[in-house]
Structure 1
Amino acid sequence: MPIPSCRTVDTMSRQHAHNSPGLRAWLGLLVILGPVLLVSMDGSILFLAMSRVSQALTPTADQALWILDIYGFAVGSLLIAFGNIGDRYGRLKLLMIGTAAFGIGSAGAAFAPTPELLIVARALMGVAGATLLPSALAVLSELFTDPRRRAQAIGIFAAAFAAGFAIGPVAGGILLERFWWGSVFLVNLPVIALFLFFAPVLLREVRATRPGHVDALSVVTSAAGLLLTIYGLKHSAAEGLSTVPVLVGIAGLVLLAWFVRRQRSLRHPLIEFSLFRDRVFTVAIITGLLPLAAWSAAAYLAGIYLQSVLDLPVLRAALLALPGAVVLTITCVVTPFVVDRIGKRTALVICHFSIAAGLLLLLPTTITGGIGWYVASTIIAGVGYGICFSVVADTAVGAVPAERAGSAGAIAETGNEIGNALGIALLGSLAALVFRLQGPDLAPTLDETLQLPDLAPAVAAEARTAFVTGLHVAAAVAAVLHTALGVLALRWLPGSVTTQAGSDIRSGDTTDRAEV
């Protein structure tokens, strides 16, 4: 076996030193994780706070759903556009602007005096949040040039994103125990101030060399198509079928179809649909959407169930969600190491079947009890949710060259955010439809019904039963969809699929995939 010369050893040492991240890289990662945690946390922090918001601002059923949903739809609709903008004009610059705007939106939401202004503030937070995620992931790639360290950093990034979704309801419940409902937004401001102070010191500007411009028409049509489609579905579920909502929903679907067709003819599309020719990538992106839809709907409906059906205080309801949040976060951290051994196919199958099993554990809940079933549901499903976050992030970054890191990472995060919003919009609307058909028909929601004066106990029990039935229907539908996707992954994907990060490590690739 040849012995390397001193010069060779010295060259290898310098190469290792160049690729090994220093203190600046790890501090930069810590700074980046602050906004990432806030963006994901604000997608779920209102799940337990909505009862307080409803009491303070008295929104209609439609307004309550928009308060929850507009944030996720704004983030999901604009992630890809801002991923492209950051690629071309500077990711750090976009991070700074977006974080400042997120702070302004948070302050506006905290002190909103009406439901309409709260919806506007949440929309601004969503637009700002869309600037943060893809650019943060791309700046992270610049900090960690070694593939092994970069894979670890991406795993931490994904864990923070998952933890934000998971701890959002818990953090909201703890804040509401002591403060008014606006405190769930003011908690963002200290983290934002720290980021704006430290980011210019620890992070460097990153731009891609790929030319092209952002197609503004595509941005508008994708956002408008989503909002119009969801408006039609929401209104029809809450109020019944009528001409205007149906026509609005159809118009939204037409816009989305036209958007897809337009992307295929553009030289620089917002979404590169050619990426979806890879089966692993396609199933992983769907895995980024469907589990988040199930998780958001289950968390939102379970929050109402615990507080309005079982009459638990908000802090206890928040603490009951903690075991599932812990399992989700731990699973997200360990998944990259496990996937490198078992492959993505096995991981994706486990993901969907565990989520389906967890959702089915909600079916034994009743109006008199079900706390144990709820906790077991969050723990079992938390395994699948954790796998979802980790696998999707790794696939998106590993599937594209560095100059497309922002826009490709945005596809994965778009699936998460759109799934988060669609879960409440579609599965939440399904539960609302069941409540409208089987409830006492005195008000469109359970909370509004229970707040009616002189409500007879039998009528209150009827309303609670109708809500629990809606919860069961939504959980069963989501479980069936996950079972179907698990079978698809089992039959469709090849038997051995490895992660890109793992391939880079095994092949000895230590090149810097980010262009500065």
Structure 2
Amino acid sequence: MDISVLFLAMPTLTLDIDPSATQQLWILDIYGFLIACLLITMGNLGDRIGRRNILLIGASVFGLASVLAAFAPNAAVLIVARALMGVGGATLLPSSLALISSLFPNARERATAIGVWTAFFAGGSVAGPVIGGLLLHHFWWGSVFLINLPVLLILLAFAPFLLPEHRTIAMGPLDIRSVVLSIGGILTLVYAVKHSAAEGLDASAIVIGCLGLVLLTVFVRRQRRLADPLLDLSLFARPRFSVAIGSSLVGMMSLAAMSYLTSIYLQSVTGRDPLAAAMFGIPMAVAVFVFSVGGAPVARRLGVRGTFVLALLASALGNLLLLGVGVDGGTQWYLIGSTIAGIGYGLSFTLVSEVAVSSVPAERAGSAVGISETSFELGNALGLALLGSVAALVFRSGGDFAGTLGETIQHAADDDIVNAARESFVSGMHVATTVGAAILIVMAAIAGVVGRTPRNATGLATSDTEN
């Protein structure tokens, strides 16, 4: 929710604290970047010091950072607050999902529980703008960050009594060198991709990108030598696990780009206020929620491979239907396309989480979940950086506009420039969502070929030897 609600608040936020185009990208990106860098580390740390402990620590950091973000006086403070929220968020995702593996040892019950977890995880990302729209209709933009506090207060009050503690005593201490290498490698590589997509492939992007590749290469070689590695590379030898990670990565790339661009479209192109724009997200939110909960029964009927292929193709179709959206109409195509895409995202994301948890023994669940959640957050960050930058390049090629679409509308001298800017933005949105659909189709083809594994009675908990 905290990622998607910001999409809706960006136009209002831009008018208030006036961030530059670069600062806008960092406000959106820094949260996902830090989560992506820290998820594997926090998943491993939770396995060692206790998943409930790390959950409560992360919730406290997340709550304090949310308050700082809500009352940020300028863009720089907001970026810092979003970074701290990323640190806290990196503890919440793997610890909460790993606790499910302890609470539900039965495979069928666990699959259903993970479906519920995924429904609130993925559904929250779509429902966020609806709740945010209500807040923005009555309050200032900072109120969207305070929606965290009631949930976090309930968690901090009841988790110590209701959640069991779970830690793995047999595991060795956390390898600090691996932590530094993973964070440095992921952050520099993602920054290089983001920079080259926005500014072009220059010497700075090449140098930083090469540094990231070197750090990640050293990291991987180190993991092969450690008895208790930060990243269990043997998991990727299992086709089903690799397909799951790839599906979550490309799924979140396309979802992040579609959510961000359509939020701007509904407000800055069609002229709707935040609340009216948010209402258009309800069908997708319902689709994601329902099919996340229903993902396990579908997988039992179609098998893991078939469900991944179906989910990815549905997501691609939903993105392609956005080609029917225009400056002067076509919002019905958005409603149809986003709903179909929501079906695909709901099925895919719940299956990714189940595969991650069932791939390892319970004592390693936190580290395995850290890998899958890293792919989610990395996909979100890359979706905004790459597909968002593609849309921005197409937008800028349509005329001499004053920065972003919002800035152009605010400073334009006449209506002709505003209309041209809106046309150019819609063209950029079409190109970006089409590229996202193409990536989903390619991943569906890979899943169909690589993910050929026998199906057992549940369709989910096939033995590791079958992979």
Short-chain TM bin: over 0.9
In 2, Cα distance between equivalents of 1:265 and 1:444: 49
Aligned to 2:119: 159
Tell me if 1:464 matches 2:422.
yes
In 1, Cα distance between equivalents of 2:317 and 2:182: 34
Partner SS for 1:270: coil
Q: 1:160 to 1:466 in 2, by over 3 A?
A: same
Post-superposition offset of 1:141: 2.8
Aligned to 1:142: 102
Which deviations, in whole Å up to 9, do the C-alpha atoms of 1:349-370 show, x marking residues without a partner? Answer: 1011111111111112222122
Q: Percent of pairs identical after alignment?
A: 49
Contact 2:48/2:168 (8 A) holds in 1? yes
Tell me if 1:305 matches 2:305.
no
Q: 2:353 aligns with which of 386, 393, 415?
A: 393
Structure 1 segment 262-273 matched on structure 2, within 5 A: 262-273=222-233
In 1, Cα distance between equivalents of 2:365 and 2:81: 29
Aligned to 1:57: 17
Aligned to 2:399: 440
Q: 1:364 to 1:349 in 2, by over 3 A?
A: same
In 1, Cα distance between equivalents of 2:457 and 2:170: 25
How well do the aligned residues superpose, as a CA RMSD in angstroms? 2.0
Which deviations, in whole Å up to 9, do the C-alpha atoms of 1:125-170 show, x marking residues without a partner? Answer: 1111111121112223333344433332222112221111121222
Aligned to 1:491: 449
2:25 is matched by which residue type in structure 1? L
In 2, Cα distance between equivalents of 1:71 and 1:372: 32
Aligned to 2:181: 221
In 2, Cα distance between equivalents of 1:499 and 1:220: 42
In 1, Cα distance between equivalents of 2:451 and 2:266: 39
TM-score by length of 2: 0.94
Tell me if 1:449 matches 2:408.
yes
Structure 1 segment 89-488 matched on structure 2, within 5 A: 89-240=49-200, 242-436=202-396, 438-452=397-411, 454-488=412-446
Larger Rg: 1
1:464 is matched by which residue type in structure 2? R
Contact 1:307/1:314 (8 A) holds in 2? yes
Unaligned runs of 5+ in 1: 1-40, 506-516
Contact 1:237/1:432 (8 A) holds in 2? no
Q: 1:218 to 1:178 in 2, by over 3 A?
A: same
In 2, Cα distance between equivalents of 1:427 and 1:504: 35
In 2, Cα distance between equivalents of 1:175 and 1:423: 26
Q: 1:451 to 1:337 in 2, by over 3 A?
A: same
Q: 1:261 to 1:470 in 2, by over 3 A?
A: farther
Contact 1:335/1:387 (8 A) holds in 2? yes
In 1, Cα distance between equivalents of 2:431 and 2:211: 28
Post-superposition offset of 1:243: 3.7
Contact 1:398/1:501 (8 A) holds in 2? no
2:421 is matched by which residue type in structure 1? A
Q: 1:91 to 1:500 in 2, by over 3 A?
A: farther
Q: 1:499 to 1:187 in 2, by over 3 A?
A: farther
Contact 1:345/1:494 (8 A) holds in 2? yes
Contact 1:210/1:403 (8 A) holds in 2? no
Paired residues in the alignment total: 463
2:19 is matched by which residue type in structure 1? P
Q: 1:500 to 1:444 in 2, by over 3 A?
A: farther
In 1, Cα distance between equivalents of 2:23 and 2:424: 21
Contact 1:61/1:238 (8 A) holds in 2? no
In 1, Cα distance between equivalents of 2:457 and 2:150: 36
1:439 is matched by which residue type in structure 2? G
Contact 2:102/2:362 (8 A) holds in 1? no
TM-score by length of 1: 0.86
Post-superposition offset of 1:216: 2.2
Deviates more, 1:318-327 or 1:440-449: 440-449
Unaligned runs of 5+ in 2: none
Partner SS for 1:455: coil
In 2, Cα distance between equivalents of 1:230 and 1:97: 27
Contact 2:63/2:152 (8 A) holds in 1? yes
